[in-house]
Amino acid sequence: MSEFINNNNARIESLLQLCRNLIQGALNTELIQQHQDAIDHLTPNDIVQVVHRLVEDNIPMKDLKSGINKFLNICFKTIRSQAKIEVKPNHFLGVLMAENRELEKRLAAMKPIAKSINLIKEESDLRKELRILKSKIEDLGAFEKHYSRKENIFFPYFEREFPEFKCLGVMWSIHDDIRKTQKILLDSLEAKKVDVKEINHMLGDLFFSMYAIIFREEYLLFPVAINAVSAELWEEMNHQSDELGYSYIPKPVYSAKNASNRKKAFSFEGDNLDPQQLGDTLLNFDTGLMTLDQAMILLNHLPVDITMIDENDRVRFFSKPKDRFFTRSKAIIGRSVQNCHPPESVHVVEDLLKAFRNCEKDSESFWIQMKGRFILIQYFALRDEAGAYKGCIEVSQDVTEIRELKGEKRLMD
């Protein structure tokens, strides 16, 4: 029997070496044969570990993703022979898998259309077919909620429970690829001159990435996660899910919330007082006296969305206004802000925090235009009265209407 069957470390090292070679461009029978034993005996955990190590190598994300594609292609048969997890339909992962089944139906239904556009000669027939294609791609956009629940709820929990979690960054990057490709495809389909070849090419990329995510979820990530995360945490994740919504499936029915679990999601040590315990006790804010309840209501009625991190870069708080523009879920409380961003943009976050720490900057603003809205996203360094760095806040605001105000409207005219 192979030395690799019961030697996880040796197997992981072998697979890691294989991957590093693949990333450097090597791909030949000899290389694969060298690592065949490890490939034959690999487990989902091995792959999660290997990708974690590769991310820590700081390989450019593009090369990393392409290397991993080759690697998983080589290992496809072994992986495919593993059992999927078995969970109840209303388990957090069961819900994600039910969405995958729906997505597969939609992807399958699109394939004939993708093929047919190559064959249609008549311009008006082509236009008609492209309109159908466009509506199908728009329908794929609804799968965003699946990705969003993963990124905002599942990733933070997995990170906390599983130290070698960095494969999540690669997955996040593929989610972002999918989003980008969908957007470019829709733009291309609306263009005056349609490049069918280009559209076919992008459709190929889109299909590849969306199928890849389903495969990696169900054969790799979920089997590892189901053992790493406790039953009560899966419950907690469920109770944060409704707010973000579901893709293609009706709202699942979950078991009733267990009040005693309420605070599990938060991971700060120390005494902890909630509004029930404090009741009418007034908190002295120096320029005012509010109960904790009042302070919460105030924060959640502001016309800006707030997320706060402390001086250790960990998320402390986010506000929960009625129409939050950027999704936040309780799972991020206590999370390192570095993990809250796709790997490609982490360096921007790091640079900004460094400038805040060094007092080179006190604030930084970004603005984007999305779905017809003008969104301002500002970051402010927090400093105490002595000037010590105390963290930072992200403040985002839909300023579309503010930019359109004319003249004056006074209290007294």
Compare residues 36 and 327 and give the one whose CB is closer to a second copy. 327
Site for a second copy in 253-292 (CB under 8 A): 263, 266, 268, 270-275, 278, 280-290, 292
| Residue 361 sits in the site that holds a second copy (CB under 8 A) | no
Contact 44, 82 (CB under 8 A): yes
- Residues 297, 294: Cα–Cα separation, whole Å: 5
Based on CB atoms, which residue is closest to a second copy, 15 or 309? Answer: 309
Separation in Å, CA 38 to CA 21, 26, 29, 54, 328: 15, 18, 15, 17, 40
User: Smaller CB distance to a second copy: residue 89 or 288?
Assistant: 288
Q: Is 160 in the site for a second copy (CB under 8 A)?
A: no
- The footprint of a second copy on residues 169-198 (CB under 8 A) is none
Q: Is 412 in the site for a second copy (CB under 8 A)?
A: yes
* Torsion 159-162-165-168 (CA) sign: negative
Type and span of the H or E element at 364: strand 363-370
Provide the Cα torsion 388, 328, 229, 82; round to 10°: -130
Q: Which of residues 62-121 bind a second copy (CB under 8 A)?
A: none
353 three-class SS: helix
If binding is defined by CB under 8 A, does position 378 make contact with a second copy? yes
Q: Are 243 and 145 in contact (CB under 8 A)?
A: no
Q: How far is the CB of 233 from a second copy (least distance, A)?
A: 18
Q: Is residue 384 involved in binding a second copy (CB under 8 A)?
A: yes
Residue 374 interacts with a second copy (CB under 8 A): yes or no: yes
- Closest distance of CB 308 from a second copy, Å: 5
For residue 387, give both structure tokens.
Answer: 């000037």
Number of amino acids touching a second copy (CB under 8 A): 76
Residue 349 host element (H or E): helix 343-357
Nearest to a second copy of 183, 390 (CB atom): 390
The answer to whether the CB of 78 falls within 8 A of the CB of 90 is no
Beta strands in 195-240 (DSSP E): none
Which of 201, 302, 326, 354 binds a second copy (CB under 8 A)? It is: 302
Establish if 371 lies at the interface with a second copy (CB under 8 A).
no
User: Is residue 59 near a second copy by the rule CB under 8 A?
Assistant: no
- CA gyration radius, the chain: 24
Kindly tell me which residue out of 294, 327, 336, 338 binds a second copy, with binding defined by CB under 8 A.
Answer: 294
Binding of residue 387 to a second copy (CB under 8 A): no
> Which residues inside 309-338 make contact with a second copy, applying CB under 8 A?
310, 315-320, 328, 330, 333
CA angle 195, 199, 201 (to 5 degrees): 120
Q: Does 298 bind a second copy (CB under 8 A)?
A: yes
Terminal-residue alpha carbon distance, the chain: 90
- Residue 13 as a binder of a second copy (CB under 8 A): the answer is no
